[in-house]
């Protein structure tokens, strides 16, 4: 199977109307959504972000997944997963490149009519079926730390191991599509170390929150849930970094669900839940793994 990823790029006009970007690829003489094959060592999200930038010149603000499509290409099945990506208010005019010679901004109806492939029409339909204006709340498990048995000092000061520091650097690219605006973390050292590279890359301040650490959670689990629920109401893209014992309870509290731990994918160090919301209402949940 050929694995690929892409994005539906959209913007809002001064009249608050939605416009969708379509690209023309002279090689195929078609009108399409930006997409391309996933390269070795690349996640689907990274691929979608890269392809959008290469084909349109736009660093889109990525939000929810729009599903996937499958079709045959050169005798193989090709599977393409898509994300919604909002265009920044002020971007340079499109410049033709090797793959794309035209970019059109069209109304949803015009885009549906213009796009060449039925599979792309399906993704446009998925986009139109849900609220386009979403904010992202990322709940991240800290990257790999030293084992408890290898650490003689207080657990709050247990540090990342070498692999964990490498993972923290990788998070810069993994989380770049979400355009994080605020960062909150457990005050334990391993969590602070996890988010430090992405904070530096985005020029953000790290806010340390004791209610996100393991000791506070053991004595009063409701505090982490209350903190996350308060942030859920903010219309910003927010990163929370915490611990494996804390995250399932916090996630269930945000989702207001009775899901049991066994019903949730286990987060490996450096993995995250991506919660999509509209004015505090949860409208989608994605899973981000940096370990595959």
Share in percent of the chain as helix, strand, coil (round to 5): 35, 30, 35
What is the model's pLDDT at position 260? 55
Same-domain status, 141 and 239: yes
Tokens, residue 229 = 């629920």
- Dump pLDDT digits (tens) for 70-84: 999 888 999 999 999
Based on the fold, state whether residues 146 and 55 are members of the same structural domain.
no
Query: Are residues 86 and 199 both part of a single domain?
Result: no
Q: Which domain holds residue 252?
A: 135-288
Chain position carrying tokens 């334990």 = 188
How many domains would you assign to the chain? 2
CATH code of the domain in which 274 resides: 3.40.50.1240
pLDDT attached to residue 292: 66
Same domain, 268 and 147: yes
Distance CA 211, CA 266 (A): 22
Final residue before a domain boundary, out of 128, 152, 171: 128
- Per-residue confidence (pLDDT) for residue 62, from 0 to 100: 97
pLDDT of amino acid 131: 81
The domain boundary residue, chosen from 108, 128, 148: 128
Q: Are residues 177 and 105 in the same domain?
A: no
How big is the chain by its Cα radius of gyration, in Å?
A: 20
In this structure, the answer to whether residues 69 and 182 fall within a common structural domain is: no
Mean pLDDT for the stretch of residues 118-136: 93
| CATH code of 9's domain | 3.90.79.10
**pLDDT (mean) for 199-216:** 98
pLDDT at 152: 87
Please compute the mean of the pLDDT values over residues 97-110 and round it to a whole number.
96
- pLDDT tens per residue, range 238-260: 999 999 999 999 999 999 875 55
| Residues 192 and 50 grouped into a single domain | no
Rounded to an integer, the average pLDDT of 163-184 is 98
Let me know: does 175 contact 188? Beta carbons within 8 Å: no
Buried/exposed code over 170-195 (b: 16+ C-beta within 10 A; e: otherwise): ebebbbbbbbbebbbbbbbbbbbbbb
- Indicate if 143 and 17 belong to the same structural domain: no
């Amino acid at each position: 199977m050929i694995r690929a990823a892409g994005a539906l790029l959209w913007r809002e006009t001064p009249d608050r109307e939605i416009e969708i970007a379509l690209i023309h690829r002279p090689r195929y003489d078609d009108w399409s959504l930006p997409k391309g094959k996933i390269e070795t060592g690349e996640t689907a999200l990274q691929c979608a972000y890269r392809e959008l930038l290469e084909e349109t010149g736009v660093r889109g603000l990525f939000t929810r997944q729009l599903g996937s499509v499958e079709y045959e290409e050169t005798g193989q099945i090709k599977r393409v997963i898509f994300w919604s990506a909002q265009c920044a208010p002020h971007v340079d005019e499109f410049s033709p490149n090797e793959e794309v010679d035209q970019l059109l901004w069209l109304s949803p109806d015009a885009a549906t009519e213009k796009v060449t492939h039925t599979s792309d029409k399906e993704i446009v339909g998925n986009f139109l079926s849900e609220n386009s204006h979403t904010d992202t709340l990322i709940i991240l498990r800290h990257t790999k730390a030293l084992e408890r048995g290898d650490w003689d000092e207080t657990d709050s000061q247990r540090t990342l191991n070498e692999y964990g520091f490498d993972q923290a650097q990788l998070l810069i690219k993994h989380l770049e599509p979400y355009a994080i605006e605020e960062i909150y973390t457990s005050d334990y050292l391993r969590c602070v170390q996890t988010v430090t590279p992405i904070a530096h890359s985005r020029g953000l301040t790290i806010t340390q929150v004791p209610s996100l650490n393991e000791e506070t959670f053991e004595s009063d689990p409701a505090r982490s849930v209350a903190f996350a629920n308060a942030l859920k109401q903010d219309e910003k893209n927010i990163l929370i970094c915490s611990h494996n014992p804390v995250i399932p309870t916090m996630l269930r509290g945000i989702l207001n669900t009775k899901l049991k731990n066994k019903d949730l994918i286990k987060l490996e160090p450096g993995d995250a839940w991506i919660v999509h919301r509209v004015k505090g209402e949860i409208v989608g949940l994605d899973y981000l793994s940096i370990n595959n």
